[in-house]
Structure 1
Amino acid sequence: MFQNGDYVVYGCKGIHKIIDKTTLNMDGVSKNKEYYVMQPYDKPSGSVYAPVDAQKINMRKIMSKEEANAFIKTVPGIGILDIKNNKQREDAYKECIRSCDPDELMRVIKTLYVRKEERISQGKKLTLTDSHYMQQAEGILYDELALVLDMPKDNVPEYISGIVHKSVV
């Protein structure tokens, strides 16, 4: 159970703030079913309703600052997805992103960074599909890290590189 004011990662939808709990007065919806009223982190004027007992969509509380820094130190050990088939690789991206797991989000980011470098060396651009999943994974993970580390989102990749470099040297 989450409390009002908690920030959560809500499936592939990103960071949301729990504002309230309510029931919905709509045809076809049980009057006894409770929903979280959530505010998207990147769209404070919006509202999202998520069932309190949701089981199809992963939702987790965001990391603490300590957990975020500990996670960043594990980044070098996170492997990439080695899947040659485009459809299977896209399915793996979707599954990793839906999981809300920071390790899986970073796995997608690292995989797509490697693919981007390979394609650039061949004189090609990142495919639209790859670009979409890279933006989605980076958006979710970097928003979370920016929030808990109290820094602009644009500074997150450099911050990660700095910590990773210090832990390797």
Structure 2
Amino acid sequence: MFKIGDLIVYSGHGICRVDDISDKTYAGITKAYYVLHPIENNQKLTISIPVDNDKIVIVKLMDQEEAETILESFNSAGINWIEKPQLRSQVFNNIVHTGNRMDIAKVANTLLRKKHEIEMASRKFYQQDSRILTTIQNILFKELAISLNTSPDAIIEKIKSMLRSNDKTAVQDIC
């Protein structure tokens, strides 16, 4: 169970702070709810989620050690590329929705490398792939930044540098 003030990752809205844990009654049933606030939301969006909800992936923000391990994973190859766009989108989205950060980083790694390869061939990166990559950057890269006490831009630059050093051709503007 999370505590008030904890930073968590809620798959639907990214990084959120637990503002409160309160009992709410709906349809005559009283349950404990987390009251969440996305940290990047300027409009004060409030999200209430049952504490016992097992259908939604909510995880505590990673610690510095896990963040360093995940960041280091960009020195290795990602996952196998799936040629069929629809199947690739389904598989990659399923991985993102598991909440497993290392697997999500591998998807990002693969997408970043493939994006560079495609753009170097003067072709367009698939929109579905771009959406998945943007989602990962908006959540995982921000989480890495918070855990490593830096900025998302610094994380992107670090990953670009790692990919450049592992690629025989220079990687330009991959993120």
Shorter-chain TM band: 0.7 to 0.9
| Structure 2: runs of 5 or more not aligned | 166-175
Q: Residue type matched to 2:100 in 1?
A: D
Select which of 40, 51, 55 maps to 1:42.
40
C-alpha distance in structure 1 between counterparts of 2:86 and 2:22, whole Å: 40
Superposition map of 1:10-159 within 5 A:
10-26=10-26, 28=27, 30-43=28-41, 45-77=44-76, 79-159=78-158
Q: Is the 8 A contact 2:34 2:49 kept in 1?
A: yes
Report the AA paired with residue 145 of structure 2.
Answer: A
Higher share of residues assigned helix = 1
| Closer, same or farther: CA 151–165 of 1 in aligned 2, 3 Å | same
Cα gap change, 1:13/1:93 in structure 2, threshold over 3 Å: closer, same or farther?
Answer: farther
Q: Give me the whole-angstrom Cα distance separating, in 1, the residues matched to 2:50 and 2:80.
A: 32
Assess, with a 3 A threshold, how the Cα gap between structure 1 residues 74 and 123 changes in structure 2: closer, same or farther.
closer
Structure 1: gaps of 5 or more residues: none
Whole-angstrom CA distance in 1 between matches of 2:78 and 2:126: 21
Matched to 1:43, the amino acid is N
8 Å contact from structure 1 (residues 72, 163) kept in 2: no
Equivalent in the alignment of 2:170: none
- Equivalent position amino acid for 2:132 in 1: Y
Q: Deviations over 1:126-159 (max 9, x none)?
A: 2221111110011111110111222121111223
Give distance in 2, aligned partners of 1:12 and 1:84.
27
The two structures, once aligned, show a CA RMSD in angstroms of 2.3
Question: SS in structure 2 opposite 1:84?
Answer: coil
Question: May I ask how many residue pairs the two structures share in their alignment?
Answer: 164
Write the distance in 2 (CA, Å) between the matches of 1:7 and 1:83.
34
CA distance in 2: counterparts of 1:75 and 1:156, whole angstroms: 11
Letter paired with 2:38: P
User: What is the TM-score with the length of structure 2 in the denominator?
Assistant: 0.82
Whether contact under 8 Å (2:73, 2:105) holds in the other structure is no
Residues 95 and 40 of structure 1: CA distance in aligned 2, closer, same or farther (over 3 Å): same
Which amino acid is 1:127 matched to? Y
Contact in 2 for aligned 1:12/1:97 (Cα 8 Å): no
Q: CA deviation at 1:12?
A: 4.1
